[in-house]
Amino acid sequence: MKQESVRPAQAGLVIGLLLAGMWLLEVVDQLSGNVLDGYGIRARELDGLPEIFTAPFLHGGFDHLIANTVPFAVLGFLVLLGGLVRWLLSSLSSIISSGLFAWVLTPSDTVVLGASGLVFGWLTYLLARGVWSRRPGQVLLAVAVLVVYGGLIWGVLPGAAGVSWQAHLGGAVGGLLAAWRLHRRPAPAPARPSGQTSPW
């Protein structure tokens, strides 16, 4: 898939607007007595499935939002630099996979929300993109991302109470799938024996 990359200023503007929107939503949520939390994913409830698409932009308080803000800004910016379509597809893959994992694997009567599943998707997308594309610039970027944010990977395992490792794991899977779909190189065609001509 060939496409033009996004300029840094444009990428910064898009990510900045998304972050501003999430902060505004959290202000509204706090002022309304956490009414917006009802748009999080309600685990194992059929009518909670549509919230897969709203949950990533809502948070359980300002501490939760603050924890996600910097990795969301950095990783989202880096993915968007690679092209708008790829950013959209990798984001959608991460959001859907994260939401489904959270919906299926989280205990009943639990509401899951937050951008961390999407953040994990962007993280694994950037790492796997370097592996499958084998382009020097993307490989170096993957190494840098691994050094700075590699510690987040442990978040796909059960850990602290109140932290949705299920959403993290699902987001990571979604990011891997997106990188595989968008950046894997086709296997080289087998070489024909010397002297053999093609009928085409």
Q: Which pLDDT tens digit goes with each residue over 56-89? A: 999 999 999 999 999 999 999 999 999 999 999 9
Q: To the nearest 10°, the Cα dihedral for 117, 159, 113, 142? A: -20
Residues 6+ apart with CB under 8 A from 27: none
User: How many whole angstroms from its chain centre is CA 47?
Assistant: 23
pLDDT at 103 over 90: yes
Q: Is the pLDDT of residue 90 over 70?
A: yes
pTM over 0.85: yes
- Can you read off the two tokens belonging to residue 174? 């979604």
Superfamily of structural domain 8-183: Rhomboid-like (1.20.1540.10)
Residue in the structure block whose two tokens are 């009414």:
35
pLDDT in tens, 151-195: 888 888 887 777 899 999 999 999 999 999 998 766 555 555 555
pLDDT tens per residue across span 26-58: 999 999 999 999 999 999 999 889 999 999 999
What does each C-alpha distance from 91 to 44, 87, 179 come to in angstroms?
23, 6, 11
